[in-house]
A and B are shown apart, each in its own frame.
Chain A
């Protein structure tokens, strides 16, 4: 199983849509790898430069309704080929969330108050998270700081992560 541990990038905005994550002008690509340079090219957010903001990151933390809009799986793929396999947010658009798990990646919801705490204590700092899937526990660490945050994941979503995605799961079961 893939590891979800890594450096965190913070996106302090709600309603980040899949057109922002990967604009339609790049949907003419037919390989996931080709999407790599374009992640979040159209992101409308003060103070965040998508060209440098994801350097070294493998986890993104954001706010409500992440991944709304188009069904394009190119959005999770654009994260995947940039090494980002876990998105943590207050809530997700249905299709984006499903697409993440269908690819064997994770989209995990945390309460707004917990996210407020994470943004307040860790945003702007070099932050890492370790993900314990047996205990359902995130551990965030930055200079001199550490915070454990429990999370929930459904049995079905977990089985997709374990199977490496929906194609393998469905092929085995249906």
Chain B
């Protein structure tokens, strides 16, 4: 019988089967950031096992609170910085070169089809967009990964989601994944990998595929995954051109990591997006989703554009196309955080940063900060934020604050209107002009 992408990856990485359906797999990369890694580092030191399994396979970044906001976050940065130095971890990204981990590491070419990756961060599922198995883990799994280069998982089951039809104007990957989570529920994919297939996914950029896979965890999924194809090869080409004679050769090699036609899935679901409209969340769970139009006019205090979900150049371009030549409402605070220095640089070169500033946005350095209420845009009690992020939990962006998740286009339109608004409101005007 055929195998799924994820089964093929597990078969190629299995080192043990300690009991039942538990598989211990070898890791191709262990990603680290300054919030969940320091406790692992301190524990390894306390155990007299301050070692790393392979410094070239460990990638580390300070991204959650940067620049440090206080002594405690400065200490967290110091612990991971000192550790990276003493173990010769070359791919360590400190201030000035740092960005949101799930945007930065793909951009550096650290994620390849067929790879196995863990990180002490639930949105590690993002990297499945490259045809990899990437899973968020806790600090103990991370600690063992750092020390031994292995991690234990239950044998993966895969939920296949076929995205059919074609995306209407003004509707994006974020709207697709919100609609899907609305259908699956917040635990509809628990212990499963969500494999995104179909013509809509095939037509998507790597950035859009990362947006899809990023939110697999919000349905409980272990990882999101997309088949590697020519889009994947093009994205990775600067990093792999020495390894392959041609793009065709790279594609042929990557095709090892595509599900067989007769692979057995745990479930198959079709999502026709031809009539999909922009979506957002209400309430405090990411499966509480409705069309933007149903909440139009609801006031917001802050608009946040950024994060590992939607802080990439494609997202900033879309937001800027809505904002161009306009000013955000006086009652709204606009905050944009390009997800990486490279995204920031491109946005500068393309005039996008200018558009954001002219519109009245505050442009911050790349950081996770506001998305989880740690820094750079924390909400006050009772405030509402329209955000391109991934979680709308109670107090997520600040105690007593509320978050509506949405696409960058909807967030930009909402900033202009001062209340929840469909981007059509502004883009349609542009067409008339």
Inter-chain contacts of A93 with B (CB < 8 A) = 187, 190, 220
In the assembled complex, A12 has its CB within 8 A of some CB on chain B: no
Bound complex: CA A15 to CA B124 (Å): 21
Interface size class of A (residues with CB under 8 A): 35 or more
Set A25, A30, A69, A102: member contacting B76, Cβ < 8 A: A30
Nearest CB of chain A from residue B304's CB, rounded to whole Å: 15
Nearest CB of chain A from residue B400's CB, rounded to whole Å: 9
Inter-chain contacts of A55 with B (CB < 8 A) = none
Among all A-B residue pairs, the 3 with the closest Cβ atoms: A73-B138, A99-B138, A102-B140
Interface size class of B (residues with CB under 8 A): 35 or more
- Where the two chains meet, the residues of A that have a C-beta atom closer than 8 Å to any C-beta of B are 15, 17, 19-20, 23-25, 27-32, 42, 44, 64-65, 68-73, 76, 91, 93-96, 98-99, 102-103, 154-156, 159, 165-167, 170-171, 173-174
Set B20, B42, B138, B393: member contacting A155, Cβ < 8 A: B20
* Chain B residue at smallest Cβ distance from A17: B393
* Chain A residue at smallest Cβ distance from B397: A24
Contact B42–A20 (Cβ < 8 Å): no
Of residues 18 through 54 on chain B, the ones whose CB sits less than 8 Å from some CB of chain A are: 18-20, 22, 24, 35-36, 38-39, 42-43, 47, 49
Contact B399–A23 (Cβ < 8 Å): yes
Q: A94-B191, A174-B148, A174-B150 are in contact. Are A69 and B391 (CB under 8 A)?
A: yes
Bound complex: CA A118 to CA B285 (Å): 26
Contact B399–A25 (Cβ < 8 Å): yes
Contact B187–A23 (Cβ < 8 Å): no
Inter-chain contacts of A64 with B (CB < 8 A) = 187
In the assembled complex, B137 has its CB within 8 A of some CB on chain A: yes
In the assembled complex, B293 has its CB within 8 A of some CB on chain A: no
**A interface footprint on B386-407 (CB within 8 Å = 1, 0 otherwise):** 0000010111100100000000
Contact B140–A27 (Cβ < 8 Å): no
Bound complex: CA A173 to CA B137 (Å): 20
Inter-chain contacts of B122 with A (CB < 8 A) = 69-71, 95
Inter-chain contacts of B139 with A (CB < 8 A) = 73, 99
Bound complex: CA A154 to CA B121 (Å): 25
Of residues 256 through 277 on chain B, the ones whose CB sits less than 8 Å from some CB of chain A are: none
In the assembled complex, B11 has its CB within 8 A of some CB on chain A: no
Inter-chain contacts of A70 with B (CB < 8 A) = 122, 372, 391
Inter-chain contacts of B22 with A (CB < 8 A) = 154, 156
Contact B138–A174 (Cβ < 8 Å): no
Inter-chain contacts of B47 with A (CB < 8 A) = 167
In the assembled complex, B346 has its CB within 8 A of some CB on chain A: no
In the assembled complex, B73 has its CB within 8 A of some CB on chain A: yes
Q: Which residue, of A15, A94, A167, has the highest number of chain B Cβ atoms within 10 A?
A: A94
Inter-chain contacts of A167 with B (CB < 8 A) = 43, 47, 140, 143-144, 147
* Chain A residue at smallest Cβ distance from B73: A28
Bound complex: CA A30 to CA B403 (Å): 28
Listed by A's residue number, 10 A-B pairs whose Cβ atoms lie within 8 Å are A20-B395, A27-B372, A28-B35, A71-B138, A72-B35, A73-B140, A98-B141, A99-B140, A102-B140, A166-B141
Of residues 102 through 149 on chain B, the ones whose CB sits less than 8 Å from some CB of chain A are: 120-122, 124, 136-141, 143-144, 147-148
Bound complex: CA A98 to CA B191 (Å): 11
Q: A15-B285, A94-B222, A167-B140 are in contact. Are A155 and B19 (CB under 8 A)?
A: yes
Bound complex: CA A160 to CA B140 (Å): 12
Inter-chain contacts of B18 with A (CB < 8 A) = 156, 159, 173
Q: A71-B36, A102-B141 are in contact. Are A42 and B394 (CB under 8 A)?
A: yes
Inter-chain contacts of A69 with B (CB < 8 A) = 122, 217, 391, 393
Contact A91–B190 (Cβ < 8 Å): yes
